[in-house]
Structure formats: C-alpha cells, structure tokens
Amino acid sequence: MGFNFLYPSIITSDLSTLVMRIINWISVIAAVLAIIYLIYSGIIYITAAGNPDAAKKGQQGVINAIIGIVIIVLAYVIATAVAGAAIGNLDINNAGPTI
C-alpha cells in the first residue's frame, strides 16, 4: 500500500499509526533537506576553483551535512523505539516511511 499524492491520508483512528506516520514524515523531510544541503555544499566545494575560503566553506558544509544525516537516522531510530514503547506497539518490520 503506497502513498497517494492526490489524497494524502494522515487521518487515522489508530494512535500508533498516526504517531508513526508523523515520525516518518518528519524524518523524510529532514533527510531530504540534509541531502539537498550535502549536494549544495559539494557543488560549492567543487566550484571553489582555487579559492581557499570557498573550498573551506564547501568542505565544512559537506561535513555538517553528513553529521546531520547521522543525527537524523539516530533520531528516527530513537523516536521510533520510544513511540513504539510508549504506545506498546513496536513493529520494527513496518516502521519505515511509506512513499
């Protein structure tokens, strides 16, 4: 069962499903933004053309984006575990985003 972009159904009667959907959406949005920042910083680094300040800015941006992606993954794992434990329904096999 995939996601229908024409009719996004976040409304559900099951609290655990709603919490997991919210966690999934926040995680996906954060990951997409981090990947966009990684690509942007990589372009800045590649196009520095001998400018040490631009190269340093691009390099630091790449490092920050990678750290951000690691933090996003860890936050997703922790939020999923806490939400599952709090609700009492931890289903690791069905916890991934549905897009």
The domain ranges of the chain are 16-91
User: What token pair was written down for 40?
Assistant: 């942007």
Comparing CA positions, the residue from 60, 13, 12 lying closest to residue 38 is 60
Give the pLDDT confidence score for residue 92 in this predicted structure.
54
Calculate mean pLDDT across residues 14-33: 85
Q: Look over the chain and give the mean of its residue pLDDT values, rounded to a whole number.
A: 81
Per-residue model confidence as pLDDT tens digits over 53-75: 999 999 999 999 999 999 999 99
Residue 44 Cα distances to 9, 38, 93, 95, angstroms: 39, 10, 39, 36
Helix (H, G, I), strand (E, B) or coil at 55: helix
Give the pLDDT confidence score for residue 19 in this predicted structure.
78
Q: What percent of the chain has pLDDT over 70?
A: 74
Give the pLDDT confidence score for residue 10 in this predicted structure.
55
